[in-house]
Amino acid sequence: MDAKYISHIELHEVAHSFVMNEEEVLLFNDLNLLLSRGSAYAITGPSGAGKSSLLMLMSGLEQPSQGRVSASFEGQHTGMQDVREHIGFIFQQFHLLPELSALANVALPLKLRGVKDAEAKAKSWLAKVGLGHRLTHKPKQLSGGEQQRVAIARALVFEPGFIFADEPTGNLDAKSAADVADILFSCCKENGAGLVLVTHSDALAARAEHVFRLANGACHVEK
């Protein structure tokens, strides 16, 4: 399935909970949300509201306690398992492989897909995020902002239909956070990808076209 045909991700009456001390804790209930490719969404709310859990459900990395999450392509609905390989995820902790260079980290998703010119495409994406001069450096030789740029390049290198980012600027200083945000939004726009991010930053959330605020088990669409 080609990612370019993925047009929407939809949540249908989704609820999610977990068990703590033998008691069920409800994070949110009865969510009905639509994500469209090419648009940017921010998920905000207080700590413990379930922002990261919602992101994991939207991306198909976890299953909801109730309801369902589906994707649309060519007018047909399908389960998230059918489109998972066409979705990119950016973690707050970067999750780069420490023994690999920046180039090897970015090329890896392509090599796993059998793409023959993986390194050439990886070089191109590292240049796009301003790291064309750091190809051979390993993560420990890069700053936090540079590591996050590598993570962005790795997530976008296979041209996914949607990018999901969990606090992508949460571990960065103000200057690095602003630079990473600029790169993330511009690269997703250039690629026509949908962007969904969790953030505590009001400034970052304001850059998204739509804001979902989670609080007290409900999701409020603020714009």
CATH number, domain of 158, equals 3.40.50.300
Residue 7 covered by a domain: no
Q: Give the pairing of strands 23-36 and 40-44.
A: unpaired
Higher pLDDT, residue 164 or 26: 164
Residue 165 covered by a domain: yes
Q: What are the residues whose beta carbons fall under 8 Å from the beta carbon of 213, sequence distance 6 or more? A: 43, 44, 45, 219, 220, 221, 222
pTM over 0.85: yes
Instruction: Evaluate if residue 20 carries a pLDDT over 90.
Output: no
Q: How far is CA 123 from CA 20, 42, 110, 145, 162, in A?
A: 45, 29, 12, 18, 21
Residue 144 covered by a domain: yes
- Residue 83's identity, in one-letter code, is V
Residue 115 covered by a domain: yes
Tell me how many domains the chain contains. 1
Return the minimum-mean-pLDDT range out of 80-89, 150-159, 164-173, 201-210: 80-89
What is the pLDDT, as a whole number, of residue 3? 52
Confidence category of residue 4, pLDDT binned at 50, 70, 90: low
Residue 18 covered by a domain: no
Residue 151 covered by a domain: yes
Confidence category of residue 218, pLDDT binned at 50, 70, 90: confident
Instruction: Evaluate if residue 57 carries a pLDDT over 70.
Output: yes
Higher pLDDT, residue 4 or 90: 90
140 vs 174: CA distance, rounded Å = 21
22 vs 27: CA distance, rounded Å = 16
Confidence category of residue 1, pLDDT binned at 50, 70, 90: very low
3 vs 155: CA distance, rounded Å = 13
Confidence category of residue 19, pLDDT binned at 50, 70, 90: confident
Contact criterion met (CB below 8 Å) for 153 and 186: no
Instruction: Evaluate if residue 13 carries a pLDDT over 80.
Output: yes
48-66: average pLDDT: 92
Return the minimum-mean-pLDDT range out of 16-20, 41-45, 111-115: 16-20
121-139: average pLDDT: 95
Range of the domain at 195: 40-60+84-221
Residue 113 covered by a domain: yes
Residue 11 covered by a domain: no
- Residue 20's identity, in one-letter code, is M
Q: Which residues pair with 178 in a beta bridge?
A: none
